[in-house]
């Protein structure tokens, strides 16, 4: 046999031994892992069972206050607003206010050219004087006719005048009385015309009917206006109204006079206190929503009409109740459940619970009374009685939160 063939056989033999050794090492390692898992006991995180323990996180059951707060979105509106507009046509001579200027009640805002209206007042005054003069003349004629009738009546008693002469005097007296009544009616008509002319003249001065601020200005000086053309918009914002809508689910928890917190993006760190002023007595058929109005004191005038607002209403609260982290509660076919690790144990109990107020952080457990710690992470891998591996610092005892701590449900 050649030297080359001998070397080839030695190399193949070495390869076979290497495969054999490698397979033996793998088998020994697998046997070691299986033996280790099968012999692991209770102490030091060991277990006895068919499944390996699950590493979880736990939290204590607490007792403390909790609040359920509903959040709604809405828009800020002025408590009152009105448009200042003339009741007569004319050219704008002056506008004394611009956007943002404060306005007092009765303050003059704009002037309209009043030359024609002043002339109408003068004409009405002259017509009134004419009617008054006619009335005075009619009164004089009535007095003369009365005297003539009285004279003829005394002569008639002495049979010095005929009956027809007396009747003529009496008829003339009555006619003069009618003319006097007509003249008096004409005076009243002229007085009414004068009053109307003065009212129209007053319409050329546009005054504020209520205090507020100029929210919008529609025209400038020199503009020719028709009757009822808007000049400025006045908004009253000493108090504001936030209008929002509430769902049918929340309708029964919200009533008139209920305190609320209002927040706006312009002042993210500030809360404005308000109260529920009105709740619509009906739901909109299309949206199944009801309108709600919240009144907010705005003495500092920080809230402006048109702002986007968030309204928080507390619908339920508890002073002291059993609380667990909300992430510890799982939904199942039979209802909400939690996994509880008894004090000193390493196997979990699957407990069906009845929940109350639910917030993103905490959930109220009405029943049953829980003892131990609840699993907050890894519970989806657990069943009733499953073994668990607890963190090293999980032995902290349960306790109650400090007085005054509460949870807010921001929705």
pLDDT for 85 equals 95
pLDDT digit string (tens) for 48-86?
Answer: 445 688 888 999 999 999 988 889 999 999 999 999 999
Neighbouring CB atoms inside 10 A of 110's CB total 23
Question: pLDDT at position 404, please?
Answer: 35
pLDDT for residue 47? 45
Q: Using the predicted structure, report yes or no on whether residue 408 has a pLDDT greater than 60.
A: no
| Predicted TM-score (pTM) of this structure | 0.64
Q: What is the pLDDT of residues 172-195, one digit of tens each?
A: 888 988 999 999 999 999 999 999
Using the predicted structure, report yes or no on whether residue 402 has a pLDDT greater than 70: no
Sequence ranges of the domains in the chain:
86-109+207-230, 114-203, 236-315
- Looking at residue 156, what is its pLDDT? 73
- Dihedral of CA atoms 132, 138, 144, 146 in degrees, nearest 10, equals -110
Specify whether the CB–CB gap between 338 and 374 falls below 8 A. Answer: yes
Structure tokens, 42: 């209770």
The predicted-structure confidence for 315-361, as pLDDT tens digits, reads as follows 888 889 999 999 999 998 889 999 999 988 888 899 999 999 888 89
- Mean pLDDT of all residues belonging to the chain: 85
User: Going by DSSP bridges, is the β-strand pair 349-352/289-297 parallel, antiparallel, or unpaired?
Assistant: unpaired
Q: For residues 246 and 411, is the Cβ–Cβ distance under 8 A?
A: no
Whether 410 shows a pLDDT value over 80: the answer reads no
Tokens standing for residue 357: 């107020």
pLDDT at position 405 is 37
- The CATH number of 236-315, from 3.50.40.10, 2.40.30.170, 3.30.70.2740, 3.10.129.10, is 2.40.30.170
Cα separation, 391 vs 378, in Å, equals 12
Buried b (16+ CB within 10 A) or exposed e, 371-383: ebbbbbebbeebe
Indicate the range of 1-10, 118-127, 136-145, 256-265 predicted with least confidence: 1-10
CATH 3.40.50.1820, domain 114-203, yes or no: no
State pLDDT tens for residues 144-153.
888 888 888 7
CB 324 within 8 A of CB 358: no
Place of tokens 């009546």: 153
Q: Which of 313, 336, 328, 322 is nearest to 379 (CA)?
A: 328
3-state secondary structure of 168: helix
Rounded CA separation 212/217 (Å): 14
Q: How large a percentage of the chain has pLDDT more than 90?
A: 56
Contact 64, 406 (CB under 8 A): yes
> What is the C-alpha to C-alpha distance for residues 148 and 166, in angstroms, rounded to an integer?
9
Residue 304 pLDDT greater than 50, yes or no: yes
Cα separation, 67 vs 345, in Å, equals 33
Integer CA distances (angstroms), 391 to 21, 294, 382, in order? 40, 49, 16
- Given a contact cutoff of 8 angstroms between Cβ atoms, the answer to whether 290 and 284 are in contact is yes
- Residue 18, pLDDT score: 77
* Residue 286: DSSP 8-state: T
* pLDDT tens by residue, 209-227: 999 999 999 999 999 999 9
Q: Is the pLDDT of residue 41 over 60?
A: no
pLDDT at 36 over 80: no
pLDDT attached to residue 165: 80
Whether residue 93 is predicted with pLDDT greater than 80 in this model: the reply is yes
């Amino acid at each position: 046999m050649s030297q080359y063939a001998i070397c080839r056989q030695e190399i193949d033999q070495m390869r076979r031994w290497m495969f054999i050794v490698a397979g033996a090492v793998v088998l020994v390692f697998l046997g070691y892992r299986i033996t280790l898992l099968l012999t692991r006991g209770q102490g030091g995180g060991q277990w006895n069972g068919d499944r390996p323990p699950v590493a979880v996180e736990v939290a204590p059951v607490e007792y403390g206050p909790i609040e359920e707060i509903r959040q709604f979105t809405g828009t800020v509106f002025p408590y009152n607003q009105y448009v200042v507009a003339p009741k007569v046509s004319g050219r704008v001579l002056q506008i004394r206010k611009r956007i943002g200027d404060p306005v007092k009640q009765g303050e003059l805002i704009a002037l309209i050219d009043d030359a024609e209206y002043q002339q109408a007042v003068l004409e009405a005054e002259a017509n009134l004087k004419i009617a008054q003069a006619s009335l005075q003349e009619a009164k004089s004629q009535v007095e003369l006719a009365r005297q003539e009738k009285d004279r003829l009546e005394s002569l008639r008693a002495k049979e010095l005048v005929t009956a027809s002469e007396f009747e003529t005097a009496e008829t003339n007296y009555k006619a003069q009385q009618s003319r006097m009544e007509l003249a008096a009616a004409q005076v009243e008509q002229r007085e009414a015309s004068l009053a109307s002319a003065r009212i129209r003249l007053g319409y050329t001065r546009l005054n504020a009917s209520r205090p507020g601020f100029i929210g919008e200005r529609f025209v400038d000086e020199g503009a020719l206006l028709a009757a009822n053309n808007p000049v400025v918009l006045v908004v009253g914002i000493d108090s504001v109204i936030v209008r929002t809508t509430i769902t049918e689910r929340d309708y029964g928890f919200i009533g008139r006079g209920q305190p609320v917190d209002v927040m706006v993006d312009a002042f993210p760190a500030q809360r404005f206190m308000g109260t529920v002023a009105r709740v619509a007595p009906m739901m909109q058929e299309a949206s199944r929503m009801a309108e709600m109005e919240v009144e907010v004191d705005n003495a500092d005038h920080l809230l402006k009409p048109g702002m986007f607002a968030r309204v928080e209403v507390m619908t339920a609260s508890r002073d002291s109740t059993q609380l667990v982290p909300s992430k510890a509660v799982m939904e199942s076919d039979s209802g909400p459940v939690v996994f509880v690790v008894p004090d000193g144990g390493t196997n979990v109990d699957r407990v069906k619970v009845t929940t109350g107020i639910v917030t993103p952080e905490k959930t109220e457990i009405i029943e049953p009374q829980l003892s131990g710690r609840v699993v907050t992470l890894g519970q989806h891998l657990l069943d009733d009685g499953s073994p668990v591996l607890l963190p090293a610092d999980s032995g902290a005892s349960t306790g109650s939160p400090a007085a005054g701590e509460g949870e807010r449900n921001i929705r």
